[in-house]
Amino acid sequence: MALRIEFDPVNKILLIRFEGQLTDELVAEYSEAIRKYWTAADASAGVVDFSSVSELSLSAECIRQLAKREPCIPDAPSRPRVIVAPTTLGFGLARMFQILGEDARPLLSVAHTLDEAFAALGVQSPQFEPLKGPSEVS
Q: Is position 127 within any domain?
A: no
Overall pTM > 0.85: yes
Q: Is position 131 within any domain?
A: no
d(CA 70, CA 57): 22
Q: Is position 22 within any domain?
A: yes
- State pLDDT tens for residues 24-69: 988 878 888 888 898 889 899 999 999 999 999 999 999 999 999 8
Q: Is position 136 within any domain?
A: no
Structural domain for 69, as ranges: 2-122
Torsion (CA) 69, 78, 11, 72 in degrees, nearest 10: -10
The predicted model gives 63-90 an average pLDDT of 89
> Which residues have a Cβ under 8 Å from the Cβ of 88 and sit 6 or more positions away?
none
Total tally of structural domains belonging to the chain: 1
CATH number, residue 111: 3.30.750.24
